[in-house]
Amino acid sequence: MFRGIYNGKQYHVADISAVLSRAWSAGIDRIIVTGGSLEESKEALAIAESDARLFCTVGVHPTRCKEFDDSGDPEKHFQALVSLAKEGVEKGKVVAIGECGLDYDRLHFCPAEIQKKYFEKQFELAWAMKLPMFLHMRAAAGDFCNILEQNNHRFCSGVAHSFTGSAEDRDRLLSFSNLFIGVNGCSLKTAENLDVVKGIPVERMMIETDSPYCEIKNTHAGISYVKSLWPFKKKEKYDPDSTVKGRNEPCLVRQVLEVVAGCKGIVDIDQLSKTIYHNTCRVFFPHDLDSAADALLSGDHNTV
């Protein structure tokens, strides 16, 4: 969508530079571009190399796991992921393995047994690279948590992103001390969703956009808490100074923060953002951002 293409049709010029400009202007410090297949991970690394503030993941999304078998040589395919991850780590760009996990809502793309097989396989990659995991769990909490438990020794930390599960699912994830829960617009659709989010300790939470998807819509339960707005135009009437209606952008992470603060009854939104930022730094940027995050939490803004 950031190339101006929607469902295979070109509506406007590629505008990733305008999207990034809005993100930096909104106070975003760094962006992680997600890889969901071998080819997509290559693209994510190429994008990450275009700006010092961009980073990426390497991995295969559960709905794409058939690509291992379809390649004709699953081990060779896996080794290509290993090589790409090594290259990205050496360049200082790859900060996590993923997006990987289980998605039982979309079994028409990939059967559960194949998803489980290659979800487990990617723990080898996380262990080899000593990287955290960017995880996907949709309607699969039982199998997901069982696999996580069996492989808990093979990854240092991670985040179950775009969480939309139940209170029981939340509590199972929180039982893993090295795991955080990622919240975006899809996590905040219903009153039940908001109740579940209320129960995620701030110290175990991250926020994200998952753009270009998962925007907060006017029909969502948390919309009343949104204070920050950006002008938007339909894709047919594209304007580089406006967001595109229905397409999510990194700058809109501020809205996720506002809904989380609102549903939790947190007045000090700046402190909330600092804590969540700190969580993110600890997982994805432990070598060079821990000191900066600690300084931010203590109120010393000169070092950030």
Which parts are annotated binding residues for a divalent metal cation? Answer: 99, 136, 161, 210
C-alpha distances (whole Å) from 298 to each of 68, 271, 275, 293 are 46, 10, 11, 9
Structure token digits, residue 185 = 């617009």
Sign of CA dihedral 290, 293, 294, 295: positive
Question: What's the CA gap between 250 and 102, in Å, rounded?
Answer: 25
Q: Would you call the peptide bond into 99 cis, given omega within 30 degrees of 0 as the criterion? A: yes
Q: Which residues of 104-138 are buried (b: 16+ CB within 10 A; e: fewer)?
A: beebeebeeebbbebbebbbebbeebebbbbbbbb
Q: What DSSP line would sit under 240-286, residue for residue?
A: TTSEETT---GGGHHHHHHHHHHHHT-S-HHHHHHHHHHHHHHHH-T
Which positions make up the binding site? 99, 136, 161, 210
- Chain centroid to CA 229: 22
- CB contact at 8 A, 256 and 267: no
Neighbour count for residue 181 (Cβ, 10 Å): 26
